[in-house]
């Protein structure tokens, strides 16, 4: 790779080279520790004499911008700090649009302290210690071998047929969904699946209904497309269907494990929701983000399996069963929007990473996914049981647990007013990461409470950490 330097004419060649390298170092284009080409090589590339390049290097060394290391070469000095670029003097024509994005709240975009305490109750995070590294490594090697035999071209927009077939079988087995390979699109996580549905259905001013409280990135995504987003309250049976307003075009729900409160939607409500959506001509987006982990009661049908009118888009993810870092999800689209979603996927990113698809397909087909889910289920069930005992026991004077039958988080609502900011701050001081419900409410006053994730906390750490929380609460009284 050649160093970008432009020499004009044949005057002051040393000065031209010196000034351009100096500007590049000061601006940060050549970073501290960067190795520069040998003087002979750079001279050949620029059509200069070696003496000219050596003199420029020597002047930069005198300015303490370059340093020579015997036997290694010439490097940018480590102490150089690039100058900040000047602030723009004029506003862009699209400044208002930029400001709208900057002002958008992102409560689930984890801040610096998130995930860094010894005892972490962050929601949505699976257990890193349970990740099947050996099995996944073999699947990645399989993917690399598949890539070595490929033609090196772009892949199918919808995803590799092998992965789509594997996911379709998995979703049918674990959630009872009705789909074939042609109904399924592989996405970069569940968030891209939501984005694709929004791209093809949402227009400025149209009405979208979401749960309140609910998943902030979904609400913000629909609003960013120009939708009029309305919050529909939830109760012990889930979304209050009677509150969905006329004119709604899209309805976003989490029926298996309401996010963030945790209760499942009753069968009666599911039937009512499908009937209401059919009457409105609306599409229902069913976000099935972590229902593979179910601990009690009989399995409930997914909305998609109950749908007889082709109005449910089923969104699944591997972020909770495996790892968010994989960015692998899928969308089972109803026929009415399938072709449009494929076009939107093509225009937004063409297709999801092919090696990752090959690896995941192998992982599912060889039975590793089901084995991993069973292993995680056993661990999460123990953690959940321990948390339930504590919140129903010595923490019950302050919190009331919301009944939940699935997932990797639970919610505890405050029985009495608590200074939650102080609680979180004091808990962080004793190495306990707690998270409130505040960021999940948007359309009305937030209910005080905690969202308690148990994917990232070891069972042996639950009692010691909650002892600290209990002691803080006693001191705050």
DSSP H helical ranges for 28-159 = 39-46, 50-62, 95-102, 133-149
- DSSP states of 139-158 as a string? HHHHHHHHHHHS------TT
pLDDT of residue 10: 85
Between 323 and 477, residue with greater pLDDT: 323
- Rounded to an integer, what distance in angstroms lies between the CA atom of residue 261 and that of residue 279? 28
Average pLDDT, stretch 430-439? 95
pLDDT of residue 395: 97
- Rounded to an integer, what distance in angstroms lies between the CA atom of residue 135 and that of residue 465? 32
Tell me the whole-structure pTM to 2 decimals.
Answer: 0.86
Q: What share of the chain is helix, strand, coil (3-state, %, to 5)?
A: 45, 15, 40
Q: Report yes or no: 207 and 244 within 8 Å, Cβ to Cβ.
A: no
Whether the per-residue pLDDT at 219 is higher than 70: the answer is yes
pLDDT confidence tier of residue 27, bands split at 50, 70 and 90: confident
pLDDT of residue 84: 62
pLDDT of residue 28: 86
Whether the per-residue pLDDT at 90 is higher than 90: the answer is no
On the CB side of 48, CA atoms within 13 Å amount to 28
The Cβ of residue 298 has, within 10 Å, a number of other Cβ atoms equal to 6
pLDDT confidence tier of residue 415, bands split at 50, 70 and 90: very high
Between helices 189-201 and 216-224, what is the axis angle to 10°?
A: 30
Per-residue model confidence as pLDDT tens digits over 133-163: 999 999 999 999 998 888 888 899 999 999 9
The Cβ of residue 154 has, within 10 Å, a number of other Cβ atoms equal to 10
Whether the per-residue pLDDT at 298 is higher than 80: the answer is no
Average pLDDT, stretch 42-62? 93
pLDDT of residue 149: 87
| Burial (CB count within 10 angstroms: exposed 0-12, middle 13-18, buried 19+), residue 113 | exposed
pLDDT of residue 117: 87
Question: Which of left, alpha, beta for 297 (phi over 0: left; psi -120 to 50: alpha)?
Answer: left
Per-residue model confidence as pLDDT tens digits over 256-277: 999 999 999 999 999 999 999 9
**Distance, C-alpha 234 to centroid of its chain:** 24
CA-to-CA separations, 68 to 33, 123, 182, in angstroms, rounded: 11, 50, 61
Whether the per-residue pLDDT at 297 is higher than 90: the answer is no
Whether the per-residue pLDDT at 109 is higher than 90: the answer is no
Domains assigned to the chain: 13-76 (1.10.10.10), 119-128+371-476 (3.90.1150.10), 130-366 (3.40.640.10)
pLDDT confidence tier of residue 86, bands split at 50, 70 and 90: low
pLDDT of residue 18: 94
Task: Share the mean pLDDT of the chain.
Answer: 92
Structure tokens, 17: 């080279």
Structure tokens, 113: 């302290």
pLDDT of residue 231: 98
Average pLDDT, stretch 398-424? 95
Residue 400 dihedral angles phi and psi, to the nearest 5°: -120, 120
pLDDT of residue 136: 97
């Amino acid at each position: 790779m050649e160093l970008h330097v432009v020499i004009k004419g044949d005057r002051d060649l040393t000065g031209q080279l010196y000034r351009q390298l100096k500007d590049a170092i000061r601006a940060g284009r050549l970073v501290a520790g960067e190795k520069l080409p040998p003087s002979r090589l750079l001279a050949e590339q620029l059509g200069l004499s070696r003496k000219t390049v050596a003199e420029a290097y020597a002047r930069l060394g005198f300015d303490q911008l370059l340093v020579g290391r015997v036997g290694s070469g010439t490097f940018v000095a480590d102490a150089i700090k690039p100058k900040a670029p000047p602030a723009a003097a004029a506003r862009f024509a699209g400044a208002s649009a930029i400001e709208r994005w900057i002002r958008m709240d992102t409560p689930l975009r984890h801040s610096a302290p998130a995930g860094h305490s010894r005892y972490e109750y962050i929601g949505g995070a699976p257990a890193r210690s349970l990740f099947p590294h050996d099995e996944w490594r073999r699947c990645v090697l399989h993917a690399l071998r598949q890539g070595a035999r490929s033609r090196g071209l772009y892949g199918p927009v919808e995803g590799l047929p092998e992965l789509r077939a594997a996911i379709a079988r998995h979703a049918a087995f674990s959630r009872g969904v009705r789909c074939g390979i042609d109904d399924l699109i592989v996405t970069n996580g569940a968030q891209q699946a939501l984005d694709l549905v929004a791209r093809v259905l949402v227009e400025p001013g149209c009405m979208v209904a979401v749960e309140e409280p609910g998943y902030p990135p979904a609400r913000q995504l629909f609003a960013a497309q120009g939708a009029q987003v309305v919050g529909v309250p939830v109760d012990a049976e889930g979304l209050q269907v009677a509150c969905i307003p006329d004119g709604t075009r899209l309805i976003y729900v989490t029926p298996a494990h309401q996010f963030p409160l945790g209760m499942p939607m009753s069968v009666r409500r599911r039937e009512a929701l499908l009937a209401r959506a059919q009457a409105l001509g609306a599409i229902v987006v069913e976000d099935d983000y972590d229902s593979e982990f179910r601990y009690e009661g009989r399995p409930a049908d997914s909305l998609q399996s109950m749908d007889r009118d082709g109005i449910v888009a089923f969104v699944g993810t591997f972020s909770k069963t495996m790892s968010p870092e994989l960015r692998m999800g899928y969308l089972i689209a109803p026929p009415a929007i399938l072709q449009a979603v494929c076009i939107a996927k093509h225009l937004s990113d063409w297709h999801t990473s092919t090696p990752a698809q090959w690896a995941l397909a192998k992982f599912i087909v060889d039975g590793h996914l089901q084995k991993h889910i069973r292993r995680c289920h056993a661990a999460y069930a123990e953690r959940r049981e321990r948390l339930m005992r504590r919140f129903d026991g010595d923490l019950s004077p302050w919190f009331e647990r919301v009944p939940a039958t699935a997932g990797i988080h639970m919610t505890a609502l405050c029985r009495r007013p608590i200074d939650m900011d102080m609680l979180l701050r004091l808990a962080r001081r004793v190495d306990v990461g707690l998270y409130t419900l505040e960021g999940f409410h948007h359309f009305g006053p937030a209910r005080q409470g905690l969202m308690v994730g148990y994917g990232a906390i070891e069972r042996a750490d639950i009692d010691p950490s909650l002892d600290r929380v209990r002691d803080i609460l006693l001191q705050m009284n």
